[in-house]
Amino acid sequence: MSSWVHLLSLDLAVVGLAALVMLLDALASLRGRTIGALVVAGLVGVLIASFQIDVTGTTPHGAYVSDAWVLFFKRIFLCAAILGVLGSIEWLDRHAPKRQAEYYALLLFSLVGMLLLPGARDWVLLVVAFELMGVPLYVLAAYAKNDTTPGEPKLAAEAALKLFVTGAASSAFTFFGLALLVGLSGSTSIAQGAQMSPLATVGLMLVIAGFGFKLGAVPFHFWVPDTYQGAPTPFVAFLSVAPKAGGLAALSVILMSTGWVGAKELWAPAIVVISIASMAVGNLFALPQTDARRLLGFSGIAQIGYVLIALAAATEQGLAMALFFIAAYVFTNLGLFLVVHAAAQDMGGHGIAEMSGLSRRSPWLGGALLVFLLSLAGIPFVIGFWAKLFVFLEAYRAGLVVPVIVGIVLAVVGLFYYLSVARQTFMAEGKSDEKIHAGAPLSAAIAVCLLAVVVLGLWPGPLVESANAAAAAFLGGR
């Protein structure tokens, strides 16, 4: 037993941290920002440990594999959680001072589910990890219980219920698909792959649909804008990146690590269709939005479309570039949401019109917003440019010409709404010239995202290399 427990040491450390948070809340009744600081410190410790200790290996029956692929994803999830917690500290302290520990514990449990996902090679482990990731998110979406935003009295309940209904329906779809796949293949090992048959195809499509919900890909995207608008914004910053990376990990494990990779003709067209639809719906529906959170919701749907092109390529390089893209997306989108949150706190709302004059009231928040927007739009030389370029290149090399052309055209459409937000913050006159005060943790989180987006944009080499190594390790160990 002890021979493989070390494979899970990072995950277990996060479980321990969550337990500690709940214990401290119950026994020492820690209040204020201390718990948030503790969680950040613990997670940073786990992130550093992921570089220091060797956790690679395989469990005896191959249900869990830990390699460069798993580590790449674990570091992304840990970064997203650290930044998400940093961004939440002030909001929690102000709006839910007595319910801080539960927030962090739930976020940590969701994180544990994410950490387990990319290494799962057994259907049971994969599904349990996926649900562990999902269920705490439903609770967190309803966290703004007292509905503090003026003019939006009932949004939190609506946001959480919509997330729950779509999420629960998606897991039911996954269960049914799983029943067919496991029943037909006679093994719970994902690598086994079922014999090709119409029934197995139905099972595979149901599983893809189930995971598509969490990715927020079209046609499973209805919850995205409503939930983003109603849930607490710092939590949405986390929700908009980490579970999507988790969904990508799960989908890659299913499609690329099984007998299914041989059945590429079967699933690749489905992914291409989902990807084109996501890019089209995301980019076009984002154009008329007037609420920054809804706009970012649709923009996120479009970004997932770009990632799925790379997955549909079904090559090692394509997969590597999907990893690069999702890493770029995590830092960019998290940072952008946190800037919107910081601005909205002082500017009276999340509408794009309310953002006017942001650059004058806080030059550094305005500058950060501009950089993140440029990165999402894919302008050189920030990280989002390389992400889009690499994804389109690899998809083109794999022969996916049509989705690449559609993607490039729609990326130009994307420029309009990204730059219209930038125009509003820089050109339009604001209502006042009062300075905006984002607190230290929030500013630190935004600064880290900004640093990552700029530095990796100027110097993407190391991230590309580690993404390549991750994809190679994943497919090599198939």
Partner 1 sequence: MTLQHCLLLAAAVFAIGVYGLITRRQAIGMLISLELLVNSANLALVAFAKHAGAPTQPLVLFVLAITVAEVAVGLALVMLFYRRYDDTLLDQANEARG
Give min distance, CB of 110 to partner 1, in A. Answer: 12
- Of 290 and 432, which has the nearer Cβ to partner 1? 290
Parallel/antiparallel/unpaired status of strands 57-58 and 65-66: antiparallel
Burial class (CB within 10 angstroms; exposed 0-12, middle 13-18, buried 19+) of 245 = buried
- Of 211 and 474, which has the nearer Cβ to partner 1? 211
148 lies in the binding site for partner 1 (CB under 8 A): no
- Of 336 and 446, which has the nearer Cβ to partner 1? 336
* Strand ranges in 2-53 using DSSP code E only, listed in sequence order: none
How many chain residues are in contact with partner 1, going by CB under 8 A? Answer: 51
138 lies in the binding site for partner 1 (CB under 8 A): yes
142 lies in the binding site for partner 1 (CB under 8 A): yes
CA distance 356 to 159: 27
172 lies in the binding site for partner 1 (CB under 8 A): yes
- Of 207 and 470, which has the nearer Cβ to partner 1? 207
Q: Contact with partner 1 (CB under 8 A): which of 11, 67, 90, 226?
A: 226
- DSSP 8-state assignment for residue 291: B
109 lies in the binding site for partner 1 (CB under 8 A): no
Instruction: Specify the 3-state DSSP secondary structure of 65.
Output: strand
Q: In the window 116-135, what residues touch partner 1 (CB under 8 A)? A: 123-124, 127-128, 131, 135
Q: Report the Cα 201 to chain-centroid distance in Å.
A: 28
CA distance 344 to 350: 5
Give the tokens for residue 235.
Answer: 């939590």
Q: Contact with partner 1 (CB under 8 A): which of 24, 157, 413, 464?
A: 157
Residue 182 has, within 13 A of its CA and on its CB side, a CA count of 17
- Of 182 and 406, which has the nearer Cβ to partner 1? 182
The sign of the CA dihedral 80, 82, 87, 89 is: positive
Give min distance, CB of 195 to partner 1, in A. Answer: 12
Cβ pair 203, 178 in contact under 8 A: yes
Q: Which stretch binds partner 1 (CB under 8 A): 96-104, 241-249, 287-295, 451-459?
A: 287-295
Q: In the window 228-247, what residues touch partner 1 (CB under 8 A)? A: 229-230
77 lies in the binding site for partner 1 (CB under 8 A): no
180 lies in the binding site for partner 1 (CB under 8 A): yes
359 lies in the binding site for partner 1 (CB under 8 A): no
62 lies in the binding site for partner 1 (CB under 8 A): no
- Of 225 and 403, which has the nearer Cβ to partner 1? 225
Mark residue 193 as left, alpha or beta (left: phi above 0; alpha: psi -120 to 50; beta: remaining).
left
Instruction: Specify the 3-state DSSP secondary structure of 157.
Output: helix
Give the tokens for residue 46.
Answer: 């786990």
Q: Contact with partner 1 (CB under 8 A): which of 110, 289, 315, 375?
A: 289
Q: Contact with partner 1 (CB under 8 A): which of 93, 102, 152, 346?
A: 152
169 lies in the binding site for partner 1 (CB under 8 A): yes
Cβ pair 331, 383 in contact under 8 A: yes
Q: Which stretch binds partner 1 (CB under 8 A): 93-101, 183-191, 340-348, 362-370?
A: 183-191
Instruction: Specify the 3-state DSSP secondary structure of 57.
Output: strand
Give min distance, CB of 179 to partner 1, in A. Answer: 4
Residue type, 470: A
- DSSP 8-state assignment for residue 28: I
Q: Contact with partner 1 (CB under 8 A): which of 15, 148, 176, 469?
A: 176
Q: Which stretch binds partner 1 (CB under 8 A): 146-154, 327-335, 379-387, 427-435?
A: 146-154
As a whole number of angstroms, the longest Cα–Cα distance in the chain is 67
ω into residue 381 within 30 of 0, thus cis? yes
173 lies in the binding site for partner 1 (CB under 8 A): yes
> Which residues are CB-contacts of 40 (< 8 A; sequence separation ≥ 6)?
82, 85, 86, 89, 441
- DSSP 8-state assignment for residue 429: P
159 lies in the binding site for partner 1 (CB under 8 A): yes
Q: Report the Cα 354 to chain-centroid distance in Å.
A: 26
168 lies in the binding site for partner 1 (CB under 8 A): yes
- Footprint on this chain of partner 1 (rule: CB under 8 A): 123-124, 127-128, 131, 135, 138-139, 142, 145, 152-162, 164-165, 167-169, 171-173, 175-176, 178-180, 182-188, 199, 225-226, 229-230, 288-291, 294
